[in-house]
Structure 1
């Protein structure tokens, strides 16, 4: 870990902080003036500080001037300003320059160490995020629809204009937003993403704009919002169509004049942030319905970038699949599986309502479930094979398409662990009848063999899960009849538990693991879903 730099002309303050941080195994480096700090940064002998703790008044310079100069070079560096009570107004002003927090003098030493440790944790999170961004591969592809996207990214790379990305779920909207940031003049600044649909309405305002201490019950400390965290960089607002109507007014103000207020605050803050928004919804229709502000829509819709669904670029499926199979193999430390030509044709004939994300999940599933190194048609999930049989003309049509380079090859969400896409069911269901290969209902989420006999659901063309005819009811009837005939005990509890597990699994896949939102979509309380997951062994 890089050292914590302490800048104060008072040697006793430096000594006390050095000793306290040394007891916490936190390395330090001390300076007696702003000039000494700037000289050390200019020297470049080390990587710079993990956190900077600076007094606000020192001989030869101001802590606020030092803050401004340091932030110019290290925009993500947490800077803690130490100040006497009489300097409190200056300390508040420091937040507009990007200070992480202020530390009033005389300070309580344990609280000071706790604050510094919190700043260290945030700094390390930012470093991990930046490393992940740097490691993200370029978006590649040979499909004409994706070439249009690449050209648009190139034209927008040197612009600061607001961009609205539209497209179905799973098409890689966040990946494109990251590419726009990575190739922009703001690339050295932070990239901050927030899903406005995933955060409860009552918390979203504080999440976006931050809050002052005491602004509401539980606000024990000042908190920087996402706009402050993205200062000098890019703020990605995913699922903007689900933003509460009353918050749309506040967002409109920021986009209009570049100023905003923290919750409970009275001083306007200037936002130096590029906003990129994304949605899978039809915003024009939302405006007509009165659910989305028309003036905000026009503010966001300066440049619109539409991402094509996977079914419109089938020629990119073969090498996308190859990439995801290799990725899964690396994660699980096994040899990568290979798709036969016939299996590839079937995949190209499938519509993939979950788009690239569904293809990735399917490849994870094949890595675990396919019995041989070469994946044949019989090894594919039942609904993929069924779709191929339902559209016999399409299977052959996909054969002549040109294989593309993996595009949007990295998922738009963080890497999903095996536990997230294969939820274990309770041990007591292990001896129940199973199907040979399991299924991937709900957009490619794999299932355990024990879960395979749970009623099967299919997707409509719109992407929403719904039963087709009475197939699932017939399946449930047959399963119950078989268990009753075998004299299995507790048939009711057994089947209800399995259905509940599948419902929760599908909801968590739909919400990408967000438990509160999954409970809301299922129409149950968040305590209920937590209790059910514990009872079902899904934790």
Structure 2
């Protein structure tokens, strides 16, 4: 593991942290100013960077910005005096992992650094898995149509509307469109910026999209760049566009029309060269007829439409996807990859998967943790898979073409799929499971860890339990944290803190 870098002109702070981290068997490298840190980054990289805010020769906030440009995934902890909490807010906006108020309690400082190290190691595992991960999997004709459409659009910057049920992988398609476009890895390497318009409260969404000037509203202590500015030269992915508030749709239409916008509280027009890709699980034509979505914005977005098929329309892809997700989960958890029996795979293929690919991935992650043996049999599958859909007796109708060039007129555009209606049934099946079933699984996993001598079993199982609960709630609420917190019976500050601690923000 790489060393922890400490940046502070105060020798006593450096000494205390060096000794405390040495007792934890963590390597440390210390610096007195940001200039030396930037020079060292040319040849080396830390696991975690801990920096003071105010130092001779530069500030910690400036250092944070420069470090994040080189190493976006590096956790940075900003140390600050209590009088500098305004600066701490700026640190968070700049991408800091956490701030550490001075004077600090040494054990708490070490605990915070430990959390940052864990996050960094998880990020490395994710990056390694991502490097080996194919962009998308699918041999079904409907998915081959999608792949061909991405190929045809690879040299274009045209606006794209992606439709499909929740969990079908709309953001993956948006990333692929960006990556293979002139703005992506094969072109100028512009940024890919995503925002879920349904997950952000209405009164904050405008600031998130367009940024705000200092003093524009209560709490706006600094000027903030919005997502359009952050995506300049690249791609902005607007997920769940059908839920965007009506008044903000007007502002979005103006940006798409002339490329100009104003920050909240701003008076100077801003420009951003951004390709917009939008996605929704809703039928936008119906939303237009209901008067909750602007028809002119719909036509502006609906230049090219890609429809992602639900998993039940591409059952032949389920075995390959399931095996891939088992391998991915095993890498993330640092365990040996499990495998399915033919009977277990056959049962997976017969299930309808109302949550689509995302639900299949969650099932595979659950099996990696909870299946008692390395070979997964039908009886090991989670209870909600008990309700199987029989294979269709007649061939299913072919889905609409994945893309149409040129775009179809509004009257002939095919409707987006309706929102998932089968999810409550699957949830009901899971809810019908007796306490004994899942508690027995928990007991089995606890017994396995305890007998194998694993350290910190309590913390490990608690983190998995909390992560699964929050992940499920966010899946049900389509990422809306406040609603997820209400369903779980916890405060919104608690769910935000837990999401950070458990690394669920990715």
Relative to the length of structure 2, the TM-score reads 0.61
Residue by residue, what CA displacement relative to the aligned partner does 1:16-72 show, whole Å, maximum 9, x if unpaired?
Answer: xxxxx952464457xxxxxxxxxxxxxxxx989x9xxxxxxxxxxxxxxxxxxxxxx
1:84-483 correspondence runs (5 A):
113-124=59-70, 126=72, 137-187=134-184, 188-384=189-385, 386-388=386-388, 391=389, 393-394=390-391, 461-464=421-424
CA distance in 2 between partners of 1:317 and 1:466 (Å):
18
Using the TM superposition, give the Cα deviation of residue 224 of structure 1 relative to its aligned residue in structure 2, in angstroms. Answer: 0.8
Using the TM superposition, give the Cα deviation of residue 462 of structure 1 relative to its aligned residue in structure 2, in angstroms. Answer: 3.6
* Matching residue of 1:519: 485
Residues 211 and 225, structure 2, Cα contact 8 Å, conserved in 1? yes
Closer/same/farther in 2, CA of residues 142 and 502 from structure 1, 3 Å limit = closer
Relative to the length of structure 1, the TM-score reads 0.58
* Matching residue of 1:507: 473
5+ long unaligned stretches in structure 1: 2-20, 30-45, 51-107, 399-458, 477-499, 534-539
Higher relative contact order (CA 8 A, sep 6+): 2
Using the TM superposition, give the Cα deviation of residue 123 of structure 1 relative to its aligned residue in structure 2, in angstroms. Answer: 1.7
Residue by residue, what CA displacement relative to the aligned partner does 1:97-121 show, whole Å, maximum 9, x if unpaired?
Answer: xxxxxxxxxxx97796144124225
Using the TM superposition, give the Cα deviation of residue 194 of structure 1 relative to its aligned residue in structure 2, in angstroms. Answer: 0.8
CA distance in 2 between partners of 1:320 and 1:532 (Å):
29
Say which SS state the counterpart of residue 257 (structure 2) adopts: helix
Residues 38 and 67, structure 2, Cα contact 8 Å, conserved in 1? no
CA distance in 2 between partners of 1:323 and 1:141 (Å):
12
Using the TM superposition, give the Cα deviation of residue 221 of structure 1 relative to its aligned residue in structure 2, in angstroms. Answer: 1.5
Using the TM superposition, give the Cα deviation of residue 465 of structure 1 relative to its aligned residue in structure 2, in angstroms. Answer: 5.7
* Matching residue of 1:23: 33
RMSD over aligned Cα atoms: 4.0
CA distance in 2 between partners of 1:307 and 1:271 (Å):
29
Using the TM superposition, give the Cα deviation of residue 503 of structure 1 relative to its aligned residue in structure 2, in angstroms. Answer: 8.3
Using the TM superposition, give the Cα deviation of residue 473 of structure 1 relative to its aligned residue in structure 2, in angstroms. Answer: 8.3
Using the TM superposition, give the Cα deviation of residue 332 of structure 1 relative to its aligned residue in structure 2, in angstroms. Answer: 2.0
5+ long unaligned stretches in structure 2: 3-30, 46-53, 75-122, 396-418, 436-465, 500-506
Say which SS state the counterpart of residue 337 (structure 2) adopts: coil
Using the TM superposition, give the Cα deviation of residue 341 of structure 1 relative to its aligned residue in structure 2, in angstroms. Answer: 0.8
CA distance in 2 between partners of 1:512 and 1:147 (Å):
27
Using the TM superposition, give the Cα deviation of residue 179 of structure 1 relative to its aligned residue in structure 2, in angstroms. Answer: 0.3
Residues 211 and 224, structure 1, Cα contact 8 Å, conserved in 2? yes
Residues 177 and 276, structure 1, Cα contact 8 Å, conserved in 2? yes
Using the TM superposition, give the Cα deviation of residue 502 of structure 1 relative to its aligned residue in structure 2, in angstroms. Answer: 10
Residue by residue, what CA displacement relative to the aligned partner does 1:66-108 show, whole Å, maximum 9, x if unpaired?
Answer: xxxxxxxxxxxxxxxxxxxxxxxxxxxxxxxxxxxxxxxxxx9
CA distance in 2 between partners of 1:236 and 1:531 (Å):
26
CA distance in 1 between partners of 2:321 and 2:365 (Å):
13
Name the count of aligned residue pairs.
Answer: 353
Closer/same/farther in 2, CA of residues 171 and 117 from structure 1, 3 Å limit = same
Residues 199 and 478, structure 2, Cα contact 8 Å, conserved in 1? no
CA distance in 1 between partners of 2:131 and 2:183 (Å):
14
Closer/same/farther in 2, CA of residues 351 and 125 from structure 1, 3 Å limit = farther
Residues 161 and 274, structure 1, Cα contact 8 Å, conserved in 2? yes
Residues 237 and 276, structure 1, Cα contact 8 Å, conserved in 2? yes
